Amino acid sequence: MTSVLFQPTWKRQKRQLRRVIYINLILSVSMDSPSDRFHQQPSQMCPFELYRNLPDSNSTSHRFSPGSLASHPLFGPLMHPSSASQRWGSFHQRQGLFPELLVDDDVSEEDVFGRREFSVGATPSSQCCAGDKGQDSAHEPEDWNQNFARVKRLRINSALRNEEEVGREGKKGRKNGASVKIDERKRAEQGNRRQSREGRKRQRQELKLQLEETRGKLLELQRKVWRVYGGQANEEKEGEEEQEDEALNLDEVADMFSNDNEPLISAGFSPPRCSSKKNNENIQNGNPGIIPGETSMDLDLELNGDQVWLGCSLVRGEWESTEGGQKFAQALKQELASVVAQVIDRVVRLYAETDPSSVTSATVPQETGVAMDLNSKRRQRSDTVARVVEQVEALPLITKSPQDKRAPIAQSGQKDLLLPQSNPSLAPLPQPLLPALFPPRSKDHFLPSYPPDNPVPLPLLHYTMQNLFARSLSSLPLNKDCLSEPFMDFRSHNAVFPPLSLLGQLDPSLPDRARDGGMRGGGAGMVDGADAALYLAAGKAKKNYILTLACFLNHLHSQEGLSPCHLKKAKLMFFYSRYPSSSTLKTFFPDVKFNRCVTSQLIKWFSNFREFFYIQMERFARQAAREGLASARERALRLGRDSELYRILNMHYNKSNDYQVPERFVEVSEVALREFFSAIQSGRDADPCWKKAIYKIISKLDSPVPDSFRLPGCPTDTYRMG
DNA sequence: TTTCCGCCTG
DNA sequence: CAGGCGGAAA
């Protein structure tokens, strides 16, 4: 029901999200964008604003008014010693991304900004990462052209100056040289080159100085903002719920995960974030120098207790306005979403790893094979991605104390999570991941940027992640044994996934309906119903986080291929419908991504079910026909719940015997049995297609499949379980 | 698409 | 041997 109900919303959100992603994309690759990432259209962004503003920038010239974005330098990125280089790397990427921006200048960009200064620190991975981020940027903001034109002008000016110098040299040479010798000319050229090099060097130094100066100013500004924010943060967080309907909604971010064609998130892409602590420390120690080999990802996320520093594109004027807080709240949300996305992505990637040998339990491999729809580019990025995620993972590891006894549930979650691992054929779980995913549910922070006053419903995450794992696993070409009984068993699932009671216990805001209504069956088959209940029941503030995961789950739910659980469900469906149409199948397997193969497979399953069914009917009908005594014959044609035929049918379609065989199926079976019997008795079985008539009769006896089958996963029998 | 048939596996 | 599955035929 979850998927069916909310799919349209997600689709709508998907569109919005593409927009959001695009905006983030632009921001992430921007050298410096003064634009408000949440309210500003991409076309209004000026990636090179900083350099345009450089000449007239001084400590007093920054007047920030919310309206005049063009004069707003971005302070966040410049906070970081390596930011310039990173952005330079981004600029390179943009060249790749937006080839129309490339200019045929014989003066390279490095000549303007300084090759060394800007290339140091821009590791290949950062460039790769940044570049891949933008692969979807089809619509290019026109302003980029303008900005690039400015850069180009700068470059051209530089070139012209050099040419002037060269020309002066040349004139001198002509004036003095009555007899011009070749070696002299060569010497002159060398001198010219040297001079032009020196000119460029000077320019570089000037620019560098300007950059440093600006950086210092921005640092100062950022500190001010930091102080201002220190008092606001908590209010921001508290007011978050009321702000949900405004501006960017995390729901939108959430839908990133459900976008099949968007590998960015799954590849670890995140909006531009602020810095690793190390970098900031360097800055604050007055060491803004570029650190070679420093982390190449601009993880602009500073965690300091409960304070979260977002050196994003908010500017001071906006901070001071009433909107600033809201924007910060939105920024927080986005941060969270992106980090969660990274973690989830990592988990999925690790679980998608089909080669167990490549996943070691001791380390999180950075180059794990990717069994999902990961392309090679993504592989190239994985190094950077891994670094980012490791930073994320490291935090919970730090915050969690091993002897923390306050989190029995989270720990049980870990244990549950490890359950598949008990099967030796399954890839072992990377241990370091676990604490990051399931830290103690307490005041410990799950993720660095999560508002402490509104803790992530960790059990929700725990809960959803379990499902996620189950479904990821079930969709993988793993050894059948991993997925069949007891792993796929409802009851064992019940033991493995105790989510809703947990949730109810942990989240009092959940109504009882969510606790026992949807989960009355208590089996894993109801977990998606639980998702729905959660979605409906959870508070608005939590909705975003739940939905973030739910969307991702939906993405996973739409798995290709059918799992043993689906076979089980199909068999149970056979109790109601012997001849389901393909549309019926689609209705009752909402968690299956239908394609031709899957559809025919499902149809084939039902065909096999019928085959078995009719074989048994014929067999018992013939057996009854052989009965001499009418009373025995009558008994043989009855399908009591203690009869052999019933046992066989139940064994076949309801192997684990956890579903109450519906009375209707017993009736239909009796009808079929009698039809077969009468056909045999009357000798109609001589006709090669004598069964067709019986099939036709039986096909009309289909009854509606219960709604519980509409949920993804295996249905549960309330009769038996309740 | 459905049914029949045969093969393979646990 | 039961049951799943694939291929051929209708």
pLDDT recorded at residue A244: 35
- The pLDDT of residue A345: 57
Residue A524's pLDDT is 32
Amino acid at A190: Q
Nearest nucleotide (CA of A567 to C1'): C4
| Cα angle for residues A107, A109, A110 (degrees, 5° grid) | 100
- CA–CA distance, A662 with A247 (Å, rounded to integer): 51
Give residue A193's pLDDT band: very low, low, confident or very high (50, 70, 90). low
Q: Which residue, counting CA atoms, is nearest to the C1' of nucleotide C6?
A: A604
Alpha-carbon distance A450 to A244, whole Å? Answer: 16
What average pLDDT does this structure show over A684-689? Answer: 78
- Give pLDDT, residue A493: 31
Is A79:A283 a contact under the CB 8 Å cutoff?
A: yes
Confidence at residue A226, expressed as pLDDT on a 0 to 100 scale? 60
Instruction: Give the residue with minimal CA–C1' separation from B4.
Output: A611
Distance A206 CA to B4 C1' (A): 85
- Collapsed DSSP state (helix, strand, coil) of residue A400: coil
Residue carrying structure tokens 């007047």: A63
pLDDT tens, residue by residue, A658-668? 788 898 899 88
Judging by DSSP bridges, how do beta strands A273-274 and A299-304 pair with one another? parallel
Nucleotide with the nearest C1' to A699 CA: B2
pLDDT of A597: 79
Angle at A617 between CA A694 and CA A650, to 5 degrees: 125
CA of A685 to C1' of C6 (A): 28
Distance of A605 CA from C5 C1′ (whole Å): 10
| Residues A252-276 as b or e (16 or more Cβ within 10 Å = b) | bbbbbbbbeebbbbbbbbbbbbbbb
Kindly indicate the confidence band of residue A328, based on its pLDDT and cuts at 50, 70 and 90.
Answer: low
**Cβ atoms of A467 and A516 closer than 8 Å:** no
Pairwise pLDDT comparison (A182 vs A407), residue with the higher score: A182
Give the model's pLDDT for residue A190. 56
Element of type H or E holding A310: strand A307-310
Reduce the DSSP state of residue A303 to 3 states and report it.
strand
CB A31 within 8 A of CB A76: no
Strand C positions with any atom < 7 Å from protein CB?
Answer: 2-6
Does residue A402 surpass a pLDDT of 70?
A: no
Closest to A55 in 3D by CA, of A211, A221, A198: A211
Asked whether strand B has any atom less than 7 Å from the CB of A425, the reply is no
pLDDT of residue A111: 32
Shortest CA to C1' contact from A653: nucleotide: C3
d(CA A529, CA A3): 9
User: Which band of pLDDT confidence, cut at 50, 70 and 90, is reported for residue A341?
Assistant: low
A614 Cβ nearer than 7 Å to chain B strand: yes
Q: Is the CB of A620 under 7 A from strand B?
A: no
Whether the CB of A608 is less than 7 Å away from nucleic strand C comes out as: yes
- Residue A607: CB less than 7 A from any atom in strand B: yes
A695 C-beta less than 7 Å away from strand B:
yes
Confidence of residue A347 (pLDDT cuts 50, 70, 90): low
Q: How far is the CA of A616 from the C1' of B5 (A)?
A: 17
pLDDT at site A589: 85
**Coil, strand, or helix at residue A144?**
helix
Distance from residue A643's CA to nucleotide B7's C1', rounded to whole Å? 31
Q: Is the CB of A604 under 7 A from strand B?
A: yes
The spacing between the Cα labelled CA in A484 and the C1' in B7, in angstroms, equals 23
Using the predicted structure, report yes or no on whether residue A603 has a pLDDT greater than 80: yes
Per-residue pLDDT tens for A550-582?
434 444 445 566 778 888 888 888 999 898 888
Res A359 pLDDT > 50: no
Helix (H) or strand (E) holding A210: helix A182-238
pLDDT at A635: 82
**Sign (positive/negative) of CA torsion A524, A525, A531, A537?**
negative
Nearest nt to the CA of A582 via C1' is B1
Instruction: Determine the pLDDT at residue A405.
Output: 29
Q: How confident is the model at residue A344 (pLDDT cuts 50, 70, 90)?
A: low
**How far does the CA of A595 sit from the C1' of C9, in Å?**
25
Residue labelled with tokens 């999200």: A17
Residue A25 Cβ under 7 A from any strand C atom: no
Nucleotide nearest A696, from its CA to each C1': B2
Question: Which nucleotides of chain B have an atom under 7 angstroms from any protein CB?
Answer: 1-5
Strand partners, A307: A304
Whole-angstrom distance, CA of residue A610 vs CA of residue A617: 10
Q: Distance between CA atoms of A66 and A68, rounded to whole angstroms?
A: 6
> Is the minimum distance from the CB of A185 to strand B below 7 Å?
no
Q: Kindly determine whether the C-beta of residue A604 is less than 7 Å away from any atom of nucleic acid strand C.
A: yes
Q: Please report, as a single letter, which amino acid is at residue A520.
A: R
| CA–C1' gap, A612 and B7, in angstroms | 17
- Round and report the angstrom distance from CA (A463) to C1' (B2): 42
Distance A604 CA to C8 C1' (A): 15
Structure confidence at residue A57 (pLDDT):
33
Nucleotide nearest to A651 (CA to C1'): C2
Within 7 Å: CB of A41 and strand B? no
Higher-pLDDT residue of A239, A601? A601
A610 CB contact with strand B at below 7 Å: yes
Average pLDDT for chain A: 48
The stretch A102-128 carries a mean pLDDT of 32
Give the pLDDT confidence of A506-517 residue by residue, as tens digits: 233 332 222 222
Which residue type, as a one-letter code, is found at position A719?
Y
Q: What is the pLDDT of residue A624?
A: 85
Question: In percent, how much of chain A has pLDDT > 70?
Answer: 23
Question: Which nucleotide C1' is nearest A599 CA?
Answer: B1
Q: According to the model, what pLDDT value does residue A566 have?
A: 84
Cα distance from N-terminal residue to C-terminal residue, chain A: 20
Cβ–Cβ < 8 Å for A534, A510:
yes
Inform me whether the pLDDT recorded for A5 exceeds 70. no
What pTM was computed for the model? 0.34
Q: Could you tell me the distance in Å between the CA of residue A519 and the C1' of nucleotide B2?
A: 38
Q: Residue range A620-625: average pLDDT?
A: 85
Q: What is the pLDDT of residue A41?
A: 32
Nucleotide B4 C1' to residue A611 CA (A): 9
A605 touches strand C (CB under 7 A): yes
Which nucleotide is closest to the Cα of A608 by its C1'? C4
The winner for highest mean pLDDT among A334-343, A425-434, A639-648 is A639-648
Q: In sequence order, which residues have a C-beta less than 8 Å from that of residue A514 and are 6 or more positions away? A: A500, A503, A504, A530, A533, A534, A536, A537
pLDDT of residue A588: 86
A582 touches strand B (CB under 7 A): yes
User: Protein A618 CA to nucleic acid C5 C1', in Å?
Assistant: 22
DSSP state of A286: T
| CB proximity A651–strand C (7 Å threshold) | yes
Chain A residues 525-584 within 7 Å (CB) of strand C: 567
**Distance measured from the CA of protein residue A604 to the C1' of nucleotide C10, in angstroms:** 16
Give, in Å, how far the C1' of C3 lies from the CA of A612: 9
3-state secondary structure of A76: coil
Which residues have CB under 8 Å from A133's CB, separation 6+? A25, A28, A29, A93, A264, A269
Nucleotide nearest to A603 (CA to C1'): B1
Nearest to A36 by CA among A316, A235, A277, A401: A316
A206 touches strand B (CB under 7 A): no
- Tens of pLDDT, residue by residue over A588-601, are 888 888 887 788 88
What was the pLDDT predicted at A567? 86
Q: What is the pLDDT of residue A706?
A: 87
